[in-house]
Amino acid sequence: MSDLRRSIRFTTTDDGVSIAYWEVGSGPPLVLLHNFGISHSELEWEVPSFASFYTTLAEHHRLIRFDPRGSGLSGRSETLTVDDVILDLEAVVAASGLDRFALFGVATMGPVVIRFSANDPQRITHLVLCEPDVTVASAEEHARYIRGSIALAGSGSGELIASFWTLLAADEDAGPLLELTRIDTRDSEYQLMSNQAVLEWDSAPSLGSVSSPALILFSKDSNITSLDQARQAAATIPDARLTIVDGGWTPYFADRAAVLAALSDFLGWGSPSDSPPIAAGISTVVFTDVVASTEVLDRLGDEAARTTLRSIEDIVAAAAAAQSGRVVKHLGDGSLLDFDSASDALDFARKVQIDLAEGDLQVRIGMAAGEPIREDDDLHGAVVVMASRITDEASPGDVIASDGVRQLVLGKSFEFEDLGERTLKGFDEPLRIWRLQP
């Protein structure tokens, strides 16, 4: 395992926190976030069950693991919110150069990966939740443990806190796990702050906005969270499945064969693509994004809101077909499309905005031109990320295009407003963007 430990790297978040991470294996990228209090990017390789699980994942994936701020080898910050840890995740994803990836969250990392998946759906291929705390304070056993940890941390009893995790472990794991957790919980003052902060974490309002397929794993003898939390996630995420396995804590100490079988089926191990990734040629990649869809869900209720969003998907699909475009996929509250012609993409966008102008919901649209990679009827690559980031710059009712799109339609019947250069996340150089005029 020493070779793997030497691969530990560091990156810095937008708010200046140093984050330790490593990556092993090859294949589709999978980013794994570990539970607080038991995350240490070096020492975890000494725990046999952890090391074995990581090694198996690395046979199928480019596996990326990091210590969230305040744990393991990473730095600390004065606050510890879900958004803070999302900054950690974003920094590691950027440092690893990831476009689209699977996301794997364990226990208290549930709110982080759920919120990230809801906020940035086009980047997540699969979501795995192991015994997730959807709302930490409602996670029964785990919430009681955290409240007990707060009391123990206040008295400086880090050793007692660490021993909790060894109760879940196999005999061969107990010693290394105790050492890992003893080190990760040794600062009682910081632990007191972090435990109090984590109790406030809540991702329940984001569940309905997760559009990627999701697998929720739960063990029958769990001491971590409650089955109600797992059921809530499975019932609310539109494309989710719940798998219950024997044993203790998933994924490490539960029935390993059952856990791996569920992951294999969900992530498609042993089912490689029949065709290799190919360049799609010059294409205009378009994202549509329904504005304030979360508020609509709250106001209308799930069934009525989904009906409304589906009607928007129908409008988008019809407008795309009329301009020889292709709906790559719907994303819950938006869609990804591509067009061989930039003119067709702009005509499509204009038609969608006209059709939705009188409705309750508005859509923002962003697009970029380039050479995406087409694989398994999906699109990948820098131009896809660029189109997504440009969409983030749009206001309700806007159609925003990259300079490349504008250049392709020079001399045609399109007028644009110059919005200047913007520094888009994931791109080193500022990019000029344009608003399509009605």
| CB atoms near residue 65 (< 10 Å) | 24
Alpha carbons within 13 angstroms on the beta-carbon side of residue 24 total 22
Q: What is the pLDDT of residues 269-320, one digit of tens each?
A: 864 444 444 445 689 999 999 887 566 666 766 667 667 778 888 899 999 9
**What is the reported pLDDT for 143?**
57
Average pLDDT over every residue of 157-184: 65
**What is the reported pLDDT for 298?**
67
**What is the reported pLDDT for 263?**
93
Are the C-beta atoms of 435 and 398 separated by less than 8 Å?
A: yes
**What is the reported pLDDT for 31?**
97
User: pTM of this prediction?
Assistant: 0.61
Where residue 354 falls among pLDDT bands split at 50, 70, 90?
A: very high
Instruction: Name the burial class of residue 336, with classes exposed (0-12), middle (13-18) and buried (19+) by CB atoms within 10 angstroms of its CB.
Output: buried
Check whether 437 has a pLDDT greater than 90: yes
Check whether 157 has a pLDDT greater than 50: no
Q: Mean of the per-residue pLDDT values for the chain?
A: 83
Crossing angle between the packed helical segments 158-166 and 141-154, to the nearest 10 degrees: 150
Residue given tokens 């791109």 in the structure block: 427
Please, which residues have CB within 8 angstroms of residue 101's CB and are 6 or more apart in sequence? 28, 29, 30, 31, 64, 93, 123, 124, 125
Average pLDDT over every residue of 23-39: 86
Where residue 151 falls among pLDDT bands split at 50, 70, 90?
A: low
> 203 to each of 27, 42, 108, 281, 437, how far by Cα in Å?
30, 29, 11, 39, 38
Report the percent of the chain where pLDDT is more than 90: 38
Average pLDDT over every residue of 245-261: 85
Average pLDDT over every residue of 247-251: 80
> 288 to each of 81, 364, 377, 381, how far by Cα in Å?
29, 6, 18, 18
**What is the reported pLDDT for 6?**
43
**What is the reported pLDDT for 417?**
96
